Structures are given as structure tokens and as C-alpha cells.
């Protein structure tokens, strides 16, 4: 038996109602399909005339719950809203608590503010200022989480199992960076969900303890002079789970759990005891709670700092890999202007990209000898293909 509650980052508005409400003026709704269940999994609200690409990723070995990645871009290509790949980590003495190549190598909880500061560094952006959520947004998020947590605990108790300890943390920050000649301003929003589960004592078997965290990141960036207006416009934008997909996904996982239980039942009482000891922690590693976006951080003791310094290199490597995953998932690539240093997201269907002197119009081709200079109006520069985070390959 497995109880899974899924929450996702929406826009800056803490609401679970927009998926059922009328589409706000100037916005449109896009659906992201789950290729495994072959049905819409997430509804994404985006500006009506913006470009959009999104895909469902199937989770990690720490938290196998699928999640969306998407990118929506303004017509001029300079303002971007991204939902980055979820970052998971876990630790403890239960199954699956060892090193996981697709999870962060962390062995403790991080606050949302800590994670936001690390994300700013990994995205090569200057951390400008805290940008905490309004009190009513935080209150609504905490209230919704508390209600879901209470319902989840009741299900555990009905099944005769210890409910996990669960909590969320939310924070966000304003950042700044240069994209060629453009001074860009952005907002990083991070939501952290962490849980801790502990199996009941069965005979002389050791008690199994498992801890797990998931971090969701929402990233908005625009030219500095346009940032305030764009940030306000993008407040309703974001992803919401399709409830039919949620039910179908949970049904599929519960059916698999039932099959596992039936197999264990065939092996006798000893195997059942093993199942009971390990299943209570395992179901917690499956539970996913993702809520809005967020931020929070600050002073860490010296020992913690040393631990985080050892982890930073691995996190940076995963940041580059994550940005490349988003590009790949969305059939895009990242190019850099060798003269101005401007970073641009373009289609991956072409091998060569040229950008005009305004930095807003691109020309793509598969012909290595094609040159728009002299054929098209303006001055054009051939772009360099780089990693999704702008670093050199």
C-alpha cells in the first residue's frame, strides 16, 4: 500500500484553482503529456503570444515521481520563464540510501534560502536581494500543505504504519547577470519539501530511518528595465498537475505495490516482516510534495560550511547537466555570441545559428557555407554552441 501526494510549483500566486478557472487575459494554457501513460499530465499557464516547450521527466532514484520541465520565451527571446529539473537527495540506513548518480550528494536538509543562494551561484548570477513571498501567499501555501499532510497521516495510521515527518520551506531572491550587452535581472524561486520516516521495531531487526528532500526551481529573467513589468505579468504563469493523470499515476503505482505484496505473501511470514520493515521507509521516499517557489538561507556553522564546500563542485556539475537536460528535453540548444557574449536559446534542428547586431533576430541553417551577410539586411555573427548554462563545452 502506498500513499503519494504530489504538489508542483505554480506561479507566484499560491492557488490551486486556476486550472479550473477562466484563463486570465493575455494568457493561454498548454498541456504537457506523460509519454508513459499517454495522457496530459500537467497544465501550464503561459503568456498568449510567447513560445513554449515542455516535457515530463520520470523522476530520480531518490524520488521517482514524474515532474514537468518547461521554458516559455517572449517573442524577442530576451525574457524567459523556466521550470528547471527537480533536484532530489536522500540519506539514511534503508534500501536505496547509498550513492545515486542522478541525486545530489547531500546528507542533510537545506533551507530554501540556502538552496536559492547555491542556485544563483550555479546559474552564474549575482545574488542581489531577498525577495520573500507576500504573507498571504505563504499562509495559503502552508495551509494547503497542512491539510494535505493531515489527510496523508490519516491514511498511514489506517494502514497501521507510522506517518512520516514532513515540512516545506519556500523562498526566492532577485539576481542579476550580463547577457552580452544586456543587463539582465531575474528571480529564482525555490521550494523545498523534506520528509523523515522511521519503521516500527519488528523483533530484533534494526529500525530503518530514511530522509529525503526535493527542490523545485522556478527561474524568471528579463532585461533589467523590463523586469518589473515582466515579473508582474508572469505571476499567474506556471504548472499544475492534471488531476486525472494524478489518479492514473497513483493507481498504476498502487497496482504495482499490490503485485509486490502478493509476491511477498507467497514467500511466507519471514518475508512479510522484512517487507513491513522496509516498506514503511520506502513509501516515504516515494511521497512527493512540491509546492510553490521559495527562498531562505544564511549563517552556517564552520563544519556545515566545510561539508557544503565539498558538495559544491558536484552540484555545479549537476547544474550544467540539468541545463543541458532541459535543452535536450525541449529540442533546443544554447548558443553564445563570440563578440558580445550574449546567450540565446534556439532550435536544435539546425547545426548553425547566426544572430544579427540587434541581438534579437536569428538565422539558422544546416549548410556550413551559408552566410546571411550580404543576403539579409543587417550584420550577422555566427554563434558558438555552448552548454545550456552558457559554459564552454
Q: Clarify whether residues 289 and 363 are in a common domain.
A: no
Task: Look at residues 283, 313, 328 and tell me which one is the last residue of a structural domain.
Answer: 328
Query: Does the residue 5 lie in any domain?
Result: no
Q: According to the model, what pLDDT value does residue 6 have?
A: 40
Q: Are residues 248 and 120 in the same domain?
A: yes
In whole angstroms, what is the distance from residue 350 CA to residue 310 CA?
39
Please check whether residue 292 lies inside any domain of the structure: yes
| pLDDT for 286 | 42
Is 169 found in the same domain as 283? yes
Res. 70: pLDDT tops 80: yes
Res. 271: pLDDT tops 70: no
Q: Does residue 298 belong to any structural domain of this protein?
A: yes
Q: Is the pLDDT of residue 317 over 60?
A: no
| Chain segment 205-255, per-residue pLDDT in tens | 788 888 999 999 999 999 999 999 999 999 889 888 888 988 888 888 778
Residue 392 within a domain: no
Q: What is the pLDDT of residues 40-51, one digit of tens each?
A: 999 999 999 999
pLDDT cut 70: percent of the chain above it: 75
Query: Do 207 and 312 have their domain in common?
Result: yes
| Cell numbers standing for residue 373 | 551577410
210 plus 117 within the same structural domain:
yes
Cβ pair 235, 11 in contact under 8 A: yes
- Number of other residues whose CB lies within 10 A of the CB of residue 119: 24
Q: What is the pLDDT of residue 316?
A: 55
CB 10 within 8 A of CB 19: no
Domain hosting residue 347, numbered range: 331-386
323 and 352 belong to one structural domain: no
The residue ranges of DSSP E strands in 58-181, in sequence order, are 67-73, 80-83, 87-92, 126-130, 165-179
Band (pLDDT 50/70/90 cuts) for residue 296 is very low
Residues 181 and 263 occupy one common structural domain: yes
pLDDT of residue 275 exceeding 70: no
Could you tell me the three cell numbers for 267?
A: 514467500
- My answer on whether 180 and 309 are in the same domain is yes
Which residues, at least 6 apart from 174, have a Cβ–Cβ distance to it below 8 Å? 128, 129, 130, 131, 185, 186, 187
Flag whether 15 is in a domain: no
Q: Range with the lowest mean pLDDT among 27-31, 183-187, 307-311? A: 307-311
Q: Are residues 368 and 316 in the same domain?
A: no
How many domains does the chain divide into? 2
Q: What pLDDT, in 10s, does the model give residues 89-134?
A: 989 887 656 666 678 888 899 999 999 998 998 888 999 999 988 8
Residue 339 has pLDDT above 60, yes or no: yes
pLDDT score, position 273: 52
Same domain, 138 and 273: yes
- For residue 19, is pLDDT > 80? no
- The answer on 357 and 316 residing in a single domain is no
In a shared domain, residues 96 and 228: yes
pTM, two decimal places: 0.68
Amino acid at each position: 500500500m502506498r500513499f503519494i501526494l504530489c504538489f508542483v510549483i505554480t506561479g507566484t500566486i499560491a492557488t490551486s484553482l486556476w486550472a479550473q478557472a477562466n484563463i486570465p487575459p493575455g494568457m493561454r494554457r498548454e498541456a504537457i503529456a506523460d509519454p508513459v501513460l499517454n495522457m496530459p499530465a500537467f497544465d501550464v499557464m503561459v503568456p498568449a503570444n510567447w513560445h513554449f516547450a515542455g516535457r515530463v521527466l520520470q523522476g530520480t532514484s531518490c524520488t521517482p515521481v514524474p515532474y514537468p520541465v518547461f521554458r516559455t520565451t517572449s517573442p524577442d527571446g530576451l525574457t524567459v520563464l523556466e521550470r528547471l529539473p527537480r533536484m532530489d537527495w536522500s540519506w539514511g540506513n534503508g534500501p536505496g540510501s547509498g550513492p545515486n548518480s542522478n541525486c545530489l550528494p547531500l546528507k542533510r536538509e537545506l533551507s530554501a534560502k540556502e538552496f536559492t543562494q547555491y542556485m544563483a551561484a550555479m546559474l552564474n548570477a549575482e545574488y542581489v536581494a531577498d525577495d520573500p513571498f507576500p504573507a498571504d501567499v505563504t499562509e495559503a501555501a502552508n495551509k494547503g500543505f497542512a491539510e494535505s499532510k493531515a489527510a496523508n497521516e490519516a491514511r498511514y495510521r489506517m494502514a497501521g504504519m507510522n506517518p512520516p515527518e514532513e515540512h516545506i520551506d519556500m523562498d526566492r531572491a532577485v539576481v542579476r547577470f550580463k547577457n552580452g550587452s544586456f543587463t539582465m535581472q531575474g528571480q529564482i524561486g525555490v521550494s523545498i519539501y523534506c520528509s523523515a520516516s522511521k519503521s516500527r521495531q519488528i523483533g530484533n531487526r534494526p529500525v530503518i530511518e530514511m530522509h529525503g528532500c526535493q527542490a523545485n526551481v522556478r527561474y524568471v529573467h528579463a532585461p533589467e528595465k523590463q523586469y518589473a513589468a515582466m515579473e508582474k505579468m508572469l505571476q499567474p504563469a506556471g504548472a499544475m498537475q492534471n488531476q486525472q493523470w494524478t489518479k492514473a499515476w497513483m493507481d498504476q503505482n498502487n497496482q504495482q505495490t499490490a503485485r509486490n505484496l502478493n509476491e511477498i505473501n507467497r514467500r511466507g511470514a519471514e518475508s512479510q516482516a522484512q517487507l513491513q520493515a522496509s516498506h514503511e521507509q520506502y513509501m516515504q521516499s516515494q511521497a512527493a510534495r512540491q509546492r510553490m517557489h521559495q527562498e531562505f538561507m544564511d549563517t552556517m556553522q564552520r563544519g556545515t560550511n566545510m561539508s557544503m564546500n565539498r558538495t559544491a563542485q558536484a552540484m555545479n556539475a549537476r547544474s550544467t547537466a540539468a541545463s543541458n537536460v532541459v535543452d535536450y528535453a525541449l529540442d533546443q540548444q544554447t548558443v553564445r555570441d563570440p563578440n558580445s557574449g550574449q546567450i540565446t536559446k534556439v532550435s536544435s534542428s539546425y547545426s548553425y545559428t547566426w544572430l544579427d547586431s540587434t541581438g534579437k533576430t536569428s538565422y539558422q541553417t544546416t549548410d556550413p557555407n551559408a552566410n546571411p551577410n550580404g543576403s539579409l539586411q543587417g550584420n550577422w555573427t555566427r554563434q558558438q554552441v555552448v552548454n545550456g548554462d552558457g559554459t564552454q563545452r
